[in-house]
Structure 1
Amino acid sequence: MTTSRPRFSDPARTDTRTDAGTDRARIEGRPSALPLAAYRTAVALDEPFRPSAAAAPADRPDEHVRTALGLLGTDRAMSRLGLRAGSLRDLRHADAATARRLLRAVLTVRPPGPLPEGAEEAVDRVLGTERRLRPGVTASHLPTIEEEFPGTAFPAARHTALWRGDITTLTADAVVNAANSALLGCFHPLHACIDNAIHHAAGPRLRDDCHTVVTLQGASEPTGGAKITRGYHLPARHVLHTVGPIVDGRPRAGDARALASSYRSCLDLAAEVGTIRTVALCAVSTGVFGYPKDEAALVALRTVADWLDERPGRFDRVVFTVYEDADESAYRRALARRTRPSAAPR
């Protein structure tokens, strides 16, 4: 079924989050959120993703990278990189790694909207090949926390897992993205954030869908809320985009409630999609967004345990996904405790 989509605008280069004071003010009330039913059809959430072109042969990805760059050479994104129109057409002297970084940068700064003629197929070939070449991990095959931490007091240990790795390689029904309030992804080329990594691996349709959702909502995404889209070139079928709090200094009670709300919103939303049985969470609000890792891990564990206790059997596996050693250590310290964690903040 063909659906009409909101017109694309060229958004300002906003990749910033709402400030901490605004975050706390919003979470004190209920986040104003567009329900799934209001955008589910607009983003074709329940339709399988069918790329416009098959993945390129594994021994020829460089050729398709250069083809994609040539087709994007006159795109409006060029000015955002300080390049003149048409400057990408001649890449004979660029090595393969440089060409690929440049393609990633172009797609990172590019606003939502249709690609130039032929570019969608070329980008699909590149991203499809990269997905095939990335080693994958299946969420349902990961050892449970009960198996990894014998004697843990964590009440949801039988149905959860802790995994350190690249979330863009995880085969799950849904993965969580720590998004900004615009939901459009990171616009900083090669920035090492999860938002950038997920949008890069999924491809430009992810930004288009997020733009559709925010346009229908008529406002930015409130702190503690979440939205869902398809995962496109990710091994995960869906992406849950949530906006966590930004913390400056020690977390306040409102920050803990906001972080717990982010996790609950993701689980609530995933539960509305009947085919989702495995969910991979990321460490929302940690790192550059300031939430202390040990305290953030406790909020995540408590919130998930409470949610699963209230809805037994809804998910087969919930994975706490971490990328850095410090994040994994924070979860390991929390899970090594022999006392049951207190209830999540509400």
Structure 2
Amino acid sequence: MNQEERLNYLVKELIDEEDELKEVEIPEDYQEKRRLLRALMNIRMPKKASRKFLKIQDEFLQEEAEDKGIIYAENLPAASERRRGSKVRNANKMVLWQGDITRLACDAIVNAANARLLGCFVPNHGCIDNAIHSAAGIQLREECARIIEQQDDEEPIGQAKITRAYNLPCDYVLHTVGPIVQGEVTEEQKQELKSCYESCLKLAEKYHLESVAFCCISTGEFHFPNEMAAEIAIGTIDEFLDTAVHVKKVIINVFKEEDYKIYDRLFR
């Protein structure tokens, strides 16, 4: 099968799963059809799929990942190499990288999850939770659902869980739920955000992961002020790296130019 044949198969299978989707029109244009596939994956509840579906989905997503271009963590320069004399103690173990986190080949990437831990159900939404689940495949939602079922409760703010990464180029995904800010940031919310970073790094140490990529947790949809969030992130990571045994490289992944400028200034 080529990519278009895989795409046609996946769209048809997901539509055929649900009676209420039978009337959905499948567009002819490849990109529009690809958007439809992502939307169908986004709204699909966690449940088993056939081996054939998973095989074709995995082939499709892995070829897409190759086409987008995989970024290898070991090739990214440390912050200390680009910002001489940084006051960040462990700048030699930290990286500032701007781009799509789903392209990173490292031991683990961090997902800014919601309390349900099931990913974003809004079709084609622009949040990182949606992007990570869409690139990983439907297996990620299934594994997250098993975690929630086992703990019989929503995921608490500031903690973290680890899952496989499936079709992402990294090995694992660390899921953490950050605080949602409405109005002024409270001291409790600052501690909760700090705990998100600490919990992920502790999990990485526990699983002997050497490279971890963080997104900008709680900014954007959760409205934590970008500058304050960046200060907490760098301070917490820097402090943790003072005594870390297994974690050797922490990548701070930013997508927006605004966040890049903030972190670049803080590193200097």
Instruction: Report the TM-score when normalising by structure 1.
Output: 0.75
1:330 aligns to 2:262 (yes or no): yes
Q: Deviations over 1:288-344 (max 9, x none)?
A: 211111110000001001111122x421211111000111111122122xxxxxxxx
Residue in structure 2 matched with residue 112 of structure 1 by the alignment: 46
Query: What SS class does the counterpart of residue 17 from structure 2 fall into?
Result: coil
Query: What SS class does the counterpart of residue 118 from structure 1 fall into?
Result: helix
Shifted more, 195-204 versus 144-153: the winner is 144-153
Give the superposition deviation at 1:262: 0.2
1:182 aligns to 2:127 (yes or no): no
Give the superposition deviation at 1:100: 1.0
Contact 1:227 1:240 in 2 (8 A): yes
Give the superposition deviation at 1:120: 2.2
Q: Quick one: which of 205, 230, 240 aligns to 2:174?
A: 240
AA partner of residue 84 (structure 1): K
Give the superposition deviation at 1:258: 0.2
1:297 aligns to 2:224 (yes or no): no
Q: How many Å separate the matches in 1 of 2:14 and 2:50?
A: 6
The within-5 A match list for 1:30-49 is none
Residue in structure 2 matched with residue 16 of structure 1 by the alignment: none
Contact 2:91 2:267 in 1 (8 A): no
Q: How many Å separate the matches in 2 of 1:125 and 1:153?
A: 45
AA partner of residue 254 (structure 2): V
Q: Quick one: which of 16, 27, 31 aligns to 1:74?
A: 16
Q: Quick one: which of 318, 321, 325 aligns to 2:250?
A: 318
Query: What SS class does the counterpart of residue 228 from structure 1 fall into?
Result: strand
**Unaligned regions of 5+ residues in structure 1, if any?**
1-55, 337-346
AA partner of residue 159 (structure 1): K
Q: Deviations over 1:205-238 (max 9, x none)?
A: 0000000111111111000010000100000000
Shifted more, 202-211 versus 67-76: the winner is 67-76
Q: Quick one: which of 132, 154, 158 aligns to 2:88?
A: 154
1:97 aligns to 2:31 (yes or no): yes
1:284 aligns to 2:217 (yes or no): yes
Query: What SS class does the counterpart of residue 143 from structure 2 fall into?
Result: helix
Contact 2:73 2:211 in 1 (8 A): yes
**Unaligned regions of 5+ residues in structure 2, if any?**
none
Report percent identity of matched pairs: 39
Instruction: Report the TM-score when normalising by structure 2.
Output: 0.96
Shifted more, 60-69 versus 194-203: the winner is 60-69
Q: How many Å separate the matches in 1 of 2:153 and 2:172?
A: 22
AA partner of residue 255 (structure 1): Q
Residue in structure 1 matched with residue 5 of structure 2 by the alignment: 63
1:197 aligns to 2:197 (yes or no): no
Q: How many Å separate the matches in 1 of 2:51 and 2:206?
A: 36
Q: How many Å separate the matches in 1 of 2:186 and 2:267?
A: 23
Give the superposition deviation at 1:200: 0.4
Q: How many Å separate the matches in 2 of 1:288 and 1:131?
A: 26
Shifted more, 254-263 versus 64-73: the winner is 64-73
Q: How many Å separate the matches in 2 of 1:286 and 1:95?
A: 34
Residue in structure 1 matched with residue 239 of structure 2 by the alignment: 306
AA partner of residue 296 (structure 1): A
Give the superposition deviation at 1:116: 5.2
Q: How many Å separate the matches in 1 of 2:184 and 2:71?
A: 35
Q: How many Å separate the matches in 2 of 1:303 and 1:159?
A: 13
Q: Quick one: which of 22, 25, 30 aligns to 1:84?
A: 22
Residue in structure 2 matched with residue 344 of structure 1 by the alignment: none
Give the superposition deviation at 1:117: 6.8
Shifted more, 108-117 versus 140-149: the winner is 108-117
Which of the pair is proportionally richer in helix? 2
Q: How many Å separate the matches in 1 of 2:226 and 2:35?
A: 31
Q: How many Å separate the matches in 2 of 1:329 and 1:209?
A: 36
Contact 2:94 2:250 in 1 (8 A): yes
Contact 1:71 1:118 in 2 (8 A): no
Aligned positions, number: 268
Q: Deviations over 1:257-314 (max 9, x none)?
A: 000000000000111112x110001100001211111110000001001111122x42
Query: What SS class does the counterpart of residue 224 from structure 2 fall into?
Result: coil
Q: How many Å separate the matches in 2 of 1:230 and 1:299?
A: 27
AA partner of residue 240 (structure 2): W
Bigger-Rg structure (1/2): 1
Q: How many Å separate the matches in 2 of 1:221 and 1:195?
A: 14
Q: How many Å separate the matches in 2 of 1:152 and 1:117?
A: 51
Q: How many Å separate the matches in 2 of 1:332 and 1:255?
A: 24
Give the superposition deviation at 1:239: 0.1
